[in-house]
Chain A
Amino acid sequence: MQELSGLNAPASPPASLPKHFFRREYANLVALLSRRIGVHHIEAIEDAVQSALMTALEQWGHSGAPGNPSAWLYRVAHRRVLDELRGAARRRAIISEQSDRVEASEAPLEVSFEQELPDDLLRMLFVCCDPQIPAASQLVFSLKVLCGFDVREIALRLFLSEANVYKKLSRARQRLHAMGKEGWDVAGNQQNDRLPTVHHVLYLLFTEGYLSSHAEQAIRRELCAEAIRLATLLTAHRIGQESTSRALRALMHLHMARLGSRQDETGALLLLEEQERSLWDQSEIQEGLKWLAASAEGETFSRYHAEAAIAAEHCLAPSFKDTRWHRVAELYELLEHVSPSPLHRLNRAIATAEWKGAQAGLAVLKGVEPPTWLAGSYLWSAAQSDLLRRAGEKEKARERALTAMKTAPNDAIRQLLKKRLMPPFH
């Protein structure tokens, strides 16, 4: 540790560090070291970074943080991972009596954080989206290496068991390990091939936060913020300077603007028509509209374009009643074309009901056989119950309402359904 002593600027008590410093450094160091040492050593890299952060935690409290904390951490983590790999190589050599040298050289210690880091982080995102890594593992692995969440935290956020998260991480690591040094080299055309997957992973990350039934709003907001951070990285890069990436970014801002008003002060979920529109974040709305305009160049029309445009309609409407429902209904129809899903049909029915009345809404659903996952979900029965009640079919409406409440995933949603679907008699 001798070479580090000079970096310790005397300062006491410890200065406070920027928000999310440890999580950000985790992601930065994993990406920087994956480029320099090889992403097939991902496990050793993750361990070394964890251990460097622990050392920082122990030392900086006493001696104060060094002048350049990122450079300090990089040096410590770099040394640890090389030590670990050399140690492992030596152990293998003893067993097999072969010399098995670690190829990683003593990389120059100077890293240009401002120039190289965004590239390395973005590359890491494309590495996570390797087509040979199962889709569910791509998201989990991204949360680990790009957001710095650990197994427990990922399990909590995605409603998975820790064992399941662990298994998904292993899958991704195995694939990277098998790829060898080439795992990092995602060529230009491969980058283009992987771009839709990158979009999808960022979209999932965002919706996991936005739609989550997680009780703590802070946790949900954090996931959305992570998705926006990575989308920002993408749209700042040459590869993300295209229509779909911009539409995705627009969609995120236009939803983020309304996140805070989706719950009342007791934490109960609020319907769109009950939300206090003055609470919507105008700066997020402006940012979203800016990206939506930028996404309109070219021929592409993706599901993100449709979803962003729908979100923009809501953001710009002066009230629930004065929403341009015909426009919303049309956009859902477009969304159905680019991304067929009965859920989009359901939303179209709801918008149509606001536009032309409950009967017209029910007509949109006529003949639609929902797949089992949707038929068994509260969304389907709740929307039907609402439309039926407004169309005057009280008995059928009540029956669907009971089904919806029975299948509600949590109490917040159950309360919301009760309020909406079973208004007190008067």
Chain B
Amino acid sequence: MNARPAIIPGPGAIAAARRTHPHVTIRGLSKRFGKAVIYDKFDLDIPRGELISVFGPNGCGKSTLINIVAGLIPPDAGQILFDGMLLHEIKFGYVFQNYREALFPWLRAFDNVAYPLKMMKVPPAERKARTERLVARLGIKLDLNLYPYQMSGGQQQLVSIMRALIVEPEILFLDEPFSALDYEMTLFMREQLQKLFMETGTTTVLVSHDLEEAVYLADRVLLLSRHPALVADFPKVTSARPRTDATLSEPDFVRMKAHCLDVFKREVRRA
């Protein structure tokens, strides 16, 4: 008479599976630009609720990867599923490197942030409420009545990130989001991003050209080889969060950074 619990998994088991199963599965991804083969039957699983940094030699296709996954560039072949669903069935956010050209200068920051909700046909009153709720939750002190061109670079990129978060995305993509900022602002923005990530736990894919930044922010560092890109390594960064300046000199962190640098150099030399 004992029911076998394993045949029909209960809700708890499904939830557990959802927690442990990869969030994004990339299978057989191929992409070429002219004669250059960037990806050739590339496979990757992106774990759920982790922040993944993508790092690799110049022109290896770091940005191409997230652009394909986020649907900005069509792949030549391959399948990308999010919990078994296609991109247009899920909510996602994308943050561009060039905030100056990604925000709408004719809209106030507030309306920039709320724009994705408008596309989802959310009524204006609720758009306002949700935007205000996001601002409160992030604890960001910004005058959202300003136009983007009245803000500093970091503030503009913060608005971009908020615009990506407003839809409560299941996955967040950031393409070198801090590389157009000065160093002081970059440091500040790293902390902001870490705070946001710890707050929301959203699966995040960050393309970075700065190894220290990539390791510092990541749960895992995706190290790519020269194109056709392969996963050179995908190590887990074990340093505890919140990470601080002190983290940078901890032995674990230093070892991880050195390891990533080794892999990177090996891949650069292979060309």
Question: Is the A/B pair a real complex?
Answer: no
Chain A contact residues, CB within 8 Å of chain B: none
